[in-house]
């Protein structure tokens, strides 16, 4: 199946700094990528839908100025957590779809963010 | 509006017992339904999708449009089935996940 790579897999940052997480589709072009947040022992929460070349669509309650999403190419989307705070500590997961008639989503391995 | 509902947050069954993870959806169009599984410390991976109508690892799921359900079933649970299971709906443009069901298979 298609491969989605997320980097870094684990990051620790100081409160007030910004952190960028990359999501790459390695062997296919992803018109649409999704960013999720997973709290401990809770479900995936869709944060935003990212379409190549256009602004991301954020879900209700997600601060777009806090979580900056850029999808500059068909193989790369980035999520930047700006001015991180301890409450931003979480597991962030991206996924990408092949598009067209095939809407299966492929997931990155996730990024564990810890803000200290 | 919640498009995908998984009513059971936790489910425990004994090894060898049948298991059913419930999923109901709400969508006016023709959805694509999926089941994803997340084993401990691993990434989410596709378990099965309704259009392929295949059985993966002994699991099956039938789309019931009348009941708007896509329940996941396995006749004999195995310990290695212990994981988090997510039902998902695709509208073609967006993916919606249920809240997930944590399945524990007791030896």
Q: What is the DSSP letter of A55?
A: P
Q: Which of residues 27-66 of A touch B (CB under 8 A)?
A: 32, 34, 36, 41-44, 46, 49
**Confidence class for position B90, pLDDT limits 50, 70, 90:** confident
With CB atoms and an 8 Å threshold, state whether A49 touches B94. Answer: yes
pLDDT number for residue A1: 65
CB atoms within 10 A of CB B50: 15
A contact test, residue of B41, B47, B95 with most A CBs within 10 A: B95
Q: What is the pLDDT of residues B16-60, one digit of tens each?
A: 999 999 999 998 888 889 999 988 877 788 898 887 777 889 999
Residue B105: in which H helix or E strand, if any? strand B101-106
pLDDT in single tens digits along all 116 residues of chain A = 678 999 999 999 999 999 999 999 998 888 889 999 987 766 678 899 888 888 899 988 999 999 999 988 889 999 999 999 999 999 999 998 876 555 677 889 899 999 99
pLDDT number for residue A99: 65
Q: Exposed, middle or buried, B78 (CB in 10 Å: 0-12/13-18/19+)?
A: middle
pLDDT number for residue B98: 87
What's the rounded Cα separation, in Å, for the pair B39 and B93?
27
What's the rounded Cα separation, in Å, for the pair A9 and A109?
7
Of A36, A93, A103, Cβ closest to residue B32: A103
Radius of gyration of chain B (CA): 13
What phi and psi, each to the nearest 5 degrees, are found at residue A113?
-100, 125
What's the rounded Cα separation, in Å, for the pair B36 and A36?
14
pLDDT number for residue A100: 59
What's the rounded Cα separation, in Å, for the pair A99 and A61?
27
> Which chain B residues have any C-beta within 8 angstroms of a chain A C-beta?
32, 34, 36, 43-46, 49, 86, 88, 90, 92-100, 102
Of A43, A46, A107, Cβ closest to residue B43: A107
pLDDT number for residue A102: 57
Q: Which of B105, B85, B102, B103 lies closest to B33, judged by CA?
A: B85
Using an 8 Å Cβ cutoff, are B61 and B71 in contact? Answer: yes
Which residue did the predictor score with more confidence, A28 or B105?
B105
For a pLDDT cut of 70, what percent of chain B falls above it? Answer: 95
pLDDT number for residue B13: 97
In this model, does residue B1 exceed pLDDT 60?
Answer: no
pLDDT number for residue B27: 86
CB pairs under 8 A between A and B: 50
pLDDT number for residue A106: 85
């Amino acid at each position: 199946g298609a491969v989605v790579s997320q980097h870094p897999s684990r990051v620790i940052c100081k409160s007030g700094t910004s952190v960028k997480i990359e999501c790459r589709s390695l062997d296919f072009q992803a018109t649409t990528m999704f960013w999720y947040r997973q709290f401990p022992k809770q479900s995936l929460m869709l944060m935003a839908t990212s379409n190549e070349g256009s602004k991301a669509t954020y879900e209700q309650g997600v601060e777009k100025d806090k979580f900056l999403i850029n999808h500059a190419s068909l193989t790369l989307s980035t999520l930047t957590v700006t001015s991180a705070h301890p409450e931003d500590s979480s597991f962030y997961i991206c996924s990408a779809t092949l598009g067209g008639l095939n809407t299966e989503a492929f997931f990155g391995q996730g990024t564990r963010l810890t803000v200290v | 509006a919640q498009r995908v509902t998984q009513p059971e947050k936790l489910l425990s069954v004994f090894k060898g017992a049948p298991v059913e993870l419930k999923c109901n959806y709400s969508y006016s169009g023709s959805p694509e339904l999926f089941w994803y599984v997340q084993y401990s410390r691993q990434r989410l991976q596709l378990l099965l999708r309704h259009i392929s109508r295949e059985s993966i690892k002994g699991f099956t799921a039938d789309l019931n449009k009348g009941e708007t359900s896509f329940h996941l079933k396995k006749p004999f649970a195995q310990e290695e089935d212990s994981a988090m299971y997510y039902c998902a709906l695709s509208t073609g443009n967006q993916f919606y996940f249920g809240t997930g069901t944590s399945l524990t298979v007791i030896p």
